[in-house]
Amino acid sequence: MSTAQAQVRRKRTEPGPRTGRGNRAGRGDAPGADRDAPPPSEPPAGAETAPARAEPAPAATRAQPAGRGPVVAITGAARGLGHALALRLATSSAARRVIAIDDHRGDVVGVTWRLADIRDPALAGRLTGVDVLVHTDVDMSADTDHRARRAFNVRAAQTVLTAAAAGRVGRVILVTSAMVYGAGPDNPVPLAEDAPLGLDDNGSVAGDLLEIEHLARRSPRSHPGMSITVVRPAALVGEGVDTLITRHFEAPRLLTVKGSAPRWQFCHIEDLVSALELAVTGTISGVFAVGCDGWLEQDEVEELSGLRRVELPAGLTFGTVQRLHRIGITPAPVSDLRYMVYPWVVDCRALREVGWRPSYDNATALGVLLKQRAGHHAVAGRRLPRKEATITAAGATVAVIGTAAIVRAARRRKRGS
């Protein structure tokens, strides 16, 4: 890379302007993480178990002494983001006690496990003595049926908010995504945190998250006295993260559309956890975004990844993906494809103002993503066996071009009749 290119990248990774603005795979994880592994032997759902004491925990995994911080409950604590947050808070003075909630017991020690289905109103009984509830149990899997995923995500958020109010929880922290802003060719770069939200596209992951945020906005009227914090991470990367965004980089080539200028911003799961720790302590509240400083241009992404682009007309690309989705070839609706070809970079102003800085820059976060893509192959969000990957990639391109030819021929016949 030339010196000029390096200078451009350094500039773009500096803080942005301070402007105001049913398959249940992946549920509860850093969005989309695999939950297929069988859980360990466990007591019945609804049972409470104290911190593991079979073996003395190393000093780094023991709970902090009582008397510091709030009592914090975490949904989806057995895996993914919830697991990472439980590990962090179990050894942090930010929480006096950590209540880990999931439908099975995880491996985090120094916390109290309470087993529950977060869609069951009985969850309120598991929140006794909780001051702050962090809801991380959101399904963003690319493989879940979109109707089942929407039903789970919305029902879970509704129940969490209602149960928290019934349990007299003072504050609920909801983790959604910067995807709620929408992705478009005319988006400002970066988007301010108070920018208007996108439209609810039926069947999309972003649509699920918008529904959750609608519930959050209505909550103060329904549950006065309980405050709500909403956290919107950029494209998440890290251990166990499996989303349409990460699968985009598992393809043989990176899809782009003519006339667009993709810009990439990532958020490592460790940085999201550190931001959530500040939210738990009340250092930051309200609605805020989390991500690396700045962004990467498409050319930079290609240089860092070694992947080349395949560029197609926007109308042709979106129309064909929509048809392929309708017949079950691709898991994602066309609205989700927009997040892979248009920018949705966010300015993390609120966190900067309280002194937070990300540990990862975009180039490093992309490197983490690329390392974890090894052995995986996907086209248009669909995971493929290795032998099929190259053939299917070519086939998908042929399908796009072929569909366009059919459409053009039909239009010519219509005009000639």
How many structural domains does the chain have?
1
| pLDDT tens figures, 70-100 | 999 999 999 999 999 999 999 999 999 999 9
Dmax over Cα atoms in the chain, in whole Å? 83
Examine residue 258 and state whether it is found in any structural domain, yes or no. no
- Calculate the dihedral angle through the C-alpha atoms of 263, 268, 273, 279, rounding to the nearest 10 degrees: -10
**What is the percent of the chain where pLDDT is above 90?**
55
| Maximum mean pLDDT: which of 36-40, 56-60, 252-256, 391-395 | 252-256
Q: DSSP labels for 69-93?
A: S-EEEEETTTSHHHHHHHHHHHT-T
For residue 288, what are the contacts with CB-CB under 8 A and spacing of at least 6? 193, 229, 230, 231, 232, 275, 348, 350, 351
pLDDT value at 131 more than 50: yes
pLDDT value at 203 more than 50: yes
pLDDT value at 21 more than 70: no
Examine residue 122 and state whether it is found in any structural domain, yes or no. yes
Are 8 and 287 in contact by the 8 Å Cβ rule? The answer is no
Residue 334 has a pLDDT of: 74
Residue 415 has a pLDDT of: 63
Examine residue 172 and state whether it is found in any structural domain, yes or no. yes
Examine residue 317 and state whether it is found in any structural domain, yes or no. no
Residue 404 has a pLDDT of: 45
Examine residue 408 and state whether it is found in any structural domain, yes or no. no
Are 231 and 276 in contact by the 8 Å Cβ rule? The answer is yes
Residue 10 has a pLDDT of: 39
Task: Identify the bridge partners of residue 233 per DSSP, sorted by sequence position.
Answer: 290
pLDDT value at 323 more than 50: yes
Residue 372 has a pLDDT of: 83
pTM: 0.77
Of the pLDDT bands very low, low, confident and very high (cuts 50, 70, 90), residue 29 is: very low
3-class SS of residue 403: helix
Examine residue 407 and state whether it is found in any structural domain, yes or no. no
Of the pLDDT bands very low, low, confident and very high (cuts 50, 70, 90), residue 244 is: confident
| Domain of residue 97, residue span | 10-253+263-307+344-381
Domain harbouring 286, CATH code: 3.40.50.720
Examine residue 90 and state whether it is found in any structural domain, yes or no. yes
Examine residue 273 and state whether it is found in any structural domain, yes or no. yes
